[in-house]
Amino acid sequence: MPQFRMVDAGEVRIRAALKGEGPLVVLVHGFPESWFSWRHQIDPIADAGFTACAIDVRGYGGSDKPHPVEAYAMERLTADVAGVVRALQPGAPAILIGHDWGAPIVWNTALARPESVRAVGGLSVPYLGIPSRPFTEVFDALFTQKGRFFYQAWFQKEGPPEAEAEADVRGFLRKFYYAISGDAPPGAWPQKPAGATLLEGLIDPDPFPAWLTENELDYYEAEFRESGFRGPINRYRNHERDFAWLQGFQGRTIEQPALFIGGTKDPASTAFGGLSDPIAAMRPHVPNLVSAHMLEGCGHWTQQERPEEVTRLILEWLKGL
């Protein structure tokens, strides 16, 4: 097991799982996960001569959990990551790698706080530049106005999404993880009307795919029973706030050496079907994209579904920096 440390990131305290000595590599998870989603990568990164640091994003696990929605704005989360870098490696930038929401967090940390970031990698979610409109407007036009359900629209309502997830934490995690994994059959993420809830129509597989064991699910379940889901879901309630903040970076690109790993069965990697070639779409915005891969048949949980392949690609990139 790694060593746990509470890190003063400035505004909040962040729990970090640490292992190894050498240049700092900060690993940032997504929804609904924790530092534990990097369990397969921590030892190999440490063994390769780096300090592996997998954090709990604010609102999760052992990190602080402020209540207000605005406490989960992208500006605040990038400040957390920069604060962790400042605390653990003073005076020197770190390497950042993020998955799911962790990918936009590290992409935008590299964009907005370049002095903190030596190199940056994103799993699952490509970087597509400064947005031209808030994402709420995008999914409202594509889904809600057409009477179709979209999970991020469901997450805008304070209270009901948390209650649904917390009523059966293990069941929620099993269904949500499975629905967008590479193992799920077509239709596992169902088409449903805009008034539906997230869990309606989702499958609880028996057995669960081998990439997540019952003991590993035990850990996730215990973390979310303790932390709840308000902080994690609040991230989705900041699209307008994030849009306004990011407008200040118009014309700027991510210049650091970059890595991207997506999955051909991951809806996030293709922007929910809107991108035929995510890697090509990234290049104008990430000109130093030195390592980019789409894993055939891989779903959303990139580093957990394909741990050996993802770890190998990360290590090759790290050693080439």
Domain boundary residue, one of 210, 234, 258:
234
Claim to verify: residue 76 and residue 175 sit in the same structural domain? no
Domain boundary residue, one of 234, 258, 282:
234
Domain presence at residue 243: no
Claim to verify: residue 114 and residue 140 sit in the same structural domain? no
- Please enumerate in sequence order all residues whose Cβ is within 8 A of that of 148, keeping only pairs 6 or more positions apart, or say none: 142, 191, 192, 193, 194
Domain presence at residue 308: yes
Domain presence at residue 115: yes
Claim to verify: residue 109 and residue 21 sit in the same structural domain? yes
Per residue in 240-297, pLDDT (tens digit) is 999 999 999 999 999 999 999 999 999 999 988 889 999 999 999 999 999 999 999 9
- How far apart (Å, rounded) are the C-alpha atoms in residues 229 and 72? 13
- Which residue bears the tokens 């994994």? 181
- How far apart (Å, rounded) are the C-alpha atoms in residues 23 and 38? 18
Domain boundary residue, one of 203, 234, 265:
234
Claim to verify: residue 208 and residue 65 sit in the same structural domain? no
Domain presence at residue 101: yes
Claim to verify: residue 40 and residue 102 sit in the same structural domain? yes
Q: 3-class secondary structure for 6-57? A: EEECCCCEEEEEEECCCCEEEEECCCCCCHHHHHHHHHHHHHCCCEEEEECC
Task: Residue 297: count other Cβ atoms within 10 Å of its Cβ.
Answer: 11
Domain presence at residue 241: no
- How far apart (Å, rounded) are the C-alpha atoms in residues 92 and 50? 14
Which residues of the chain fall short of a pLDDT of 70? none
Claim to verify: residue 193 and residue 270 sit in the same structural domain? no
**Model pTM score:** 0.98
Catalytic residues: 100, 300
Predicted local confidence at residue 15, as pLDDT: 98
Judge contact between 32 and 61, C-beta under 8 A: no
- Please enumerate in sequence order all residues whose Cβ is within 8 A of that of 290, keeping only pairs 6 or more positions apart, or say none: 257, 258, 259, 317, 320
What is the domain extent for residue 173? 135-234
Claim to verify: residue 123 and residue 257 sit in the same structural domain? yes
User: CATH number of the domain that 114 lies in?
Assistant: 3.40.50.1820
Domain presence at residue 240: no
Instruction: List, as one string, the DSSP characters of 231-268.
Output: HHHHGGG-HHHHHHHHGGGTT----S-EEEEEETT-TT
Claim to verify: residue 10 and residue 127 sit in the same structural domain? yes
The secondary structure element, H or E, covering residue 278 is: helix 278-282
Predicted local confidence at residue 272, as pLDDT: 85
Predicted local confidence at residue 169, as pLDDT: 98
Predicted local confidence at residue 116, as pLDDT: 98
- Which residue bears the tokens 């795919």? 209
Tokens of 305: 């579904």
- Which residue bears the tokens 């709840």? 228
The domain tally of the chain equals 2
Domain presence at residue 258: yes
Claim to verify: residue 228 and residue 273 sit in the same structural domain? no
- How far apart (Å, rounded) are the C-alpha atoms in residues 54 and 15? 9
Domain presence at residue 122: yes
Predicted local confidence at residue 273, as pLDDT: 83
Predicted local confidence at residue 274, as pLDDT: 87
